[in-house]
Amino acid sequence: MVAPAPTHFTPSRAPLAVVLKGLDKSFGEGDSRTHVLKHTQFDARLGELLMLVGPSGCGKTTLLSILAGTLVADGGEINVLGYRLHEMKSGPITKFRSNHIGFIFQQFNLIPTLTVAENVSVPLLIQGVSVTKAEKKARELLAVVGIPEKADDRPVKLSGGQQQRVAIARALVHEPPLLVCDEPTSALDSENGQHVMEILRTIARQETRTVIVVTHDPRIYKFADRMAEMEDGRILRVLQSPAEIAAAHINF
């Protein structure tokens, strides 16, 4: 079940959270050099769940890494939540990430030797919050994603869907305004994928966060407020509403 958008919220009018202009990025040297991002423009608004779709190798992950501050672009402007990342050094960018970005990875990347609650508290511990405070907050978040009873288990004892919920709790525990998710459902079955997306959607709405989801999975397209279609390092077009997305019949 998809939660209906609140009527007062119009994503296309909300302020911009992410603005990327003239982004360039290539990998490798000499003959093996590949130009991945070619003067790419991109934006995302506050309070929306934006999907980034496109064929494999078109540069989605690269774009996501750059706007999340984990990869440095060769050129262009990167404005995220009022920060001009292209003008910042790696130290401040690291700090920026810890304060403003929540990460959700395809492979969950939970640390196997830590309990679920400890895993969730990691972003707070990185910020220097005390262990007791962090764990308390972690347990709250585990309740939000619906698995409070798993707090003291190791991640291996959890199903894929449960692990991804842990990852979502971890991405939200420090209340970051921007959530970046790279193929969050591709390691999950259809049902778990739907659950995970519902959680993400609800959270995006309630707290006016920006959620950017890179995906290949047509079954979750219906959760998007807007959808950016990417090909060969460029954004081809942006579908501006769920209705437009449904009408476009995109399939990668």
Partner 1 sequence: MYRLALKMLFGDHAKYLMLISGITFSTLLMAQGASLFCGIMSWTFATLRNSRAAIWVADPKVEQVNDTKPLRDTDVNRVRSVRNVAWAAPLFSSTIQARLLDGSFKLIQLVGIDATTFAGAPAKMLRGRLEDLRLPNTVIIDDLGVERLSEGRSRPIDVGDVFEINDREARIVGICRAYRSFFGGPYVYTTYDRAVQYAPTQRKMLSFILAAPQPGRDPHAVAHEIERETGLRAFTESEFIWSTMWWYVKNTGIPFNVGTLVLLGFIVGTVISGQTFYAFVHENTRNLGALKAMGASTWKLCSMLILQSLAVGFIGYGVGIGAVALLGNFLLGLGKVPFLLLWQIPVIVGVAVFFICAISAVLGILRIARLEPAIVFRG
Ligand X SMILES: Nc1ncnc2c1ncn2[C@@H]1O[C@H](COP(=O)(O)OP(=O)(O)OP(=O)(O)O)[C@@H](O)[C@H]1O
Using CB under 8 A, list all residues that contact partner 1.
61, 64-65, 68, 70-71, 91, 94-99, 101, 103, 105-107, 109, 111-114, 118, 122-123, 125-127, 131, 182
Query: CA 66 → CA 54, 59, 69, distances in Å?
Result: 17, 11, 5
Which residue type, as a one-letter code, is found at position 77? Answer: E
Among 2, 12, 34, 131, binds ligand X (CB under 6 A): 34
CB of 39 to partner 1, least distance (A): 20
Give the type of residue at 50.
Answer: L
Binding to Mg ion (CB under 5 A): which residues in 54-93? 61
Stretch touching ligand X by CB under 6 A, among 57-65, 74-82, 95-103, 115-123: 57-65
For Mg ion, the closer CB: 22 or 55 = 55
Burial of 125 (0-12, 13-18, 19+ CB in 10 A): middle
Helical (H) or strand (E) element with 191 = helix 190-206
Q: How many residues does the chain have?
A: 252
Q: Binding to Mg ion by residue 241, rule CB under 5 A?
A: no
Choose one: 27-35, 82-90, 165-173, 237-245; the region binding ligand X (CB under 6 A): 27-35
The amino acid at residue 161 is G
Residue 22 binds which one of ligand X, partner 1, Mg ion, none, with CB within 5 to 8 A depending on kind? none
Residue type, 61: T
Q: Which is nearer to partner 1, 70 or 202 (CB)?
A: 70
Residue 59 sits in the site that holds ligand X (CB under 6 A):
yes
**By the rule CB under 6 A, 218 interacts with ligand X:** no
Question: Please, which residue, 134 or 204, has the CB nearer to partner 1?
Answer: 134
Pairing of strands 75-80, 178-182: unpaired
Helix or strand holding residue 38 (H, E): strand 34-45
Nearer to ligand X, 182 or 225 (CB): 182
Query: What does the alpha-carbon distance between residue 207 and residue 124 come to, in Å, rounded to a whole number?
Result: 19
In the three-class reduction of DSSP (H, G, I as helix; E, B as strand; rest coil), residue 213 is classed as strand
> Could you identify the residue written with the tokens 């003291």?
152
- Three-state DSSP at 19 gives strand
Residue 24 pairs with which residues in a beta bridge?
A: 38, 75
- Name which position in 6, 22, 57, 146 contacts ligand X (CB under 6 A): 57
Nearer to partner 1, 108 or 221 (CB): 108
Applying CB under 6 A, among 58, 104, 167, 220 the residue interacting with ligand X is 58
In the complex, what is the shortest distance from the CB of residue 57 to ligand X, in angstroms, rounded to a whole number? 4
CB 107, min distance to Mg ion, A: 12
CA 237 to chain CA centroid, nearest Å? 20
Residue with tokens 């919050």: 129
Footprint of Mg ion on this chain (CB under 5 A)?
61
Footprint of ligand X on this chain (CB under 6 A)?
27-28, 34, 36, 54, 56-62
